Amino acid sequence: MARERLYLFDTTLRDGAQTNGVDFTLADKLAIAQMLDELGLDYIEGGYPGANPTDTELFGRKRGLRAAFTAFGMTRRPGRSAANDPGLAALLAAEADAVCFVAKSWDYHVRIALETSEEENLASIRDSVKAARAVNREVLLDCEHFFDGYKANPDYALACARTAYDEGARWVVLCDTNGGSLPHEIEAIVAAVCKVIPGDHVGIHAHNDTEQAVANSLAAVRAGARQIQGTLNGLGERCGNANLVSIIPTLKLKNDFAARFDIGVSDDALGRLVQFSRALDERLNRAPNRHAPYVGESAFATKAGIHASAILKQPKTYEHVAPEAVGNRRKVLVSDQAGRSNVLAELERIGIAVDKEDERIGRLLEIVKERETIGYAYEAADASFELLARRTLGTVPDYFDVVQFDVNVEQRYNARGERVTVTLAVVKVKIGDDVMISAAEGNGPVNALDLALRKDLGKYQKYIDGLKLVDYRVRILDTGTEAVTRVLIESEDGSGERWTTVGVSPNIIDASFQALMDSIVYKLLKSGAPA
């Protein structure tokens, strides 16, 4: 039986820009649009042409997208004609494949927010859709606050949706704008709408204020809707929008949907989903959500020893889908709760061949538990665990030795009379018979030490040129200024590979130095640098 087509509409460039702390440049928007197109989405909403210089320039650029690039804006203002509304004119003049209007569909909002009549609001919908159809634009209408409106006055909410459809709108999109509806409500209301408007003209736009946006989107599909709107990584105002990164693999990999529906995302693109998700985070300078479904670093991580033992026998015992299907990987964590199965699984993953009866496995497990007792966290620091394992098995070269380092923090007045804090680090490194001394200033002791350590490593410098520190996390493990400190450092090389290292000490600089050293040694090891 032929599968029905489901259409995916991305609003990252508009709704995502409303996320607290997110501010897209024109270059960001162009790059993200290309990425969304590569992923295989059907519609990419670019923003509101005329509302700000960035969006106006975006719609003036050549984009070369397969997806329908969509302009967003309001229907004509109450009391104006379609021909005499500058906002509508800018929307229709934009270089776009489709136009998405937003209109009130809750009578309460019509009266309070728009301060107009219900009849005038319907006329505004009708005139705007008609005007866009007259210039051969594909038209969508976002029925704002539709579900709240339907609960309050179903006849009027339906009238708004039906007016757009009767005038030729390709899609009538039902919006849970406040994000307060629940899946059973969404399913019942969408089913009622689909008795009036064909489901292949109905879409869903869900917000995540009750953590239901993905569930609500899927409930709408079950009830007949055939378009889903959302954002990459669930970006959006307040608690965010429906997360397409969770919706896409569910549609592709869960049989209830995969057997019935087809989407524009290929299996190959699905296999790069982690890459797409993290590329957006990288552009926004945000740390990826480790616990995100499907794509998070912990999405397929197992900590308990009994679980690890089962996974080694058959991964399906504790995995709902194969991690490789979305570009992720299985992680069997090594921690103070681990057993031999965890250690063996992680050694196999990192390519260390060892007999499962080797007595050194037991010794490695003892070392891990001893070190985690004093504060180390190897489940969060995969690179440090690999180095520990290789050292226990005797296979890490002595690349270099840091003979001495010094960090000085000074507060003083600069030449302009401003009070500034300056940090200088000096590192003395021995490589073979060569001794090198490097100094660097940084915006803090760890930054200065990092820069000085990587400034000159002699024959190893070419292996670390692309290395950079991308995240630095500190955890105080007990109370007081003399407390033990755990430092986790996430590093990245020129190829985009990331890894995490850990250091623990009562001295935060010493803990940071341990993690920095592990990061550099790990990079040299992975690069095949000679001893």
Q: Give the residues across from 411 on adjacent strands.
A: 421
* 343 token code pair: 């250690």
3-state helix, strand, coil in the chain (%, to 5): 40, 20, 35
Give the model's pLDDT for residue 310. 56
pLDDT at position 334: 60
Query: How high is the pLDDT of residue 315?
Result: 66
Joined together, the tokens standing for residue 394 give 């005797």
The pLDDT of residue 333 is 57
DSSP β-bridge partners for residue 230 = 10
Q: Output the six-digit token pair for 151.
A: 């609960």
Q: With CA atoms as reference, report the closest residue to 228 among 256, 250, 197.
A: 250
For CA atoms 286, 291, 296, 297, the dihedral sign is: positive
CB neighbours of residue 116 within 10 Å: 16
Report d(CA 190, CA 299) in Å as an integer: 31
CA angle 132, 135, 138 (to 5 degrees): 55
Q: Do 220 and 249 meet the contact criterion of CB atoms below 8 Å apart?
A: no
Q: What pLDDT does residue 330 have? A: 75
CA-CA distance, 348 to 342, in Å (whole number)? 10
Q: Give the H/E segment covering residue 448.
A: helix 445-453
Tokens of 275: 């890459």
d(CA 385, CA 389): 6
Distance CA 442, CA 368 (A): 33
**pLDDT at site 282:** 84
CA distances, 294 to each of 13, 55, 213, 255, 325 (Å): 23, 32, 16, 16, 9
Rounded to 10 degrees, the C-alpha dihedral 331/337/341/343 comes to 70
For residues 316 and 323, the answer to whether their CB atoms sit within 8 Å is no
* Per-residue pLDDT tens listing for the chain (531 residues): 689 999 999 999 999 999 998 999 999 999 999 999 999 999 999 999 988 899 999 998 888 999 999 999 999 999 899 999 999 999 999 999 999 999 999 999 999 999 999 999 999 999 999 999 999 999 999 999 999 999 999 999 999 999 999 999 999 999 999 999 999 999 999 999 999 999 999 999 999 999 999 999 999 999 999 999 999 999 999 999 999 999 999 999 999 999 999 999 999 999 999 999 989 998 888 878 989 999 998 888 776 544 555 555 566 666 899 999 999 987 665 654 556 767 777 788 788 888 878 888 888 888 888 888 888 888 778 899 999 999 998 878 999 999 999 999 999 898 899 999 999 999 999 999 999 999 999 888 989 999 999 898 999 999 999 899 888 889 888 766 567 899 999 999 988 888 999 999 999 999 999 999 999 999 999 999 998
Query: What's the distance, CA 135 to chain centroid?
Result: 37
Q: What is the pLDDT of residue 71?
A: 97
Q: Which pLDDT value is given to residue 311?
A: 56
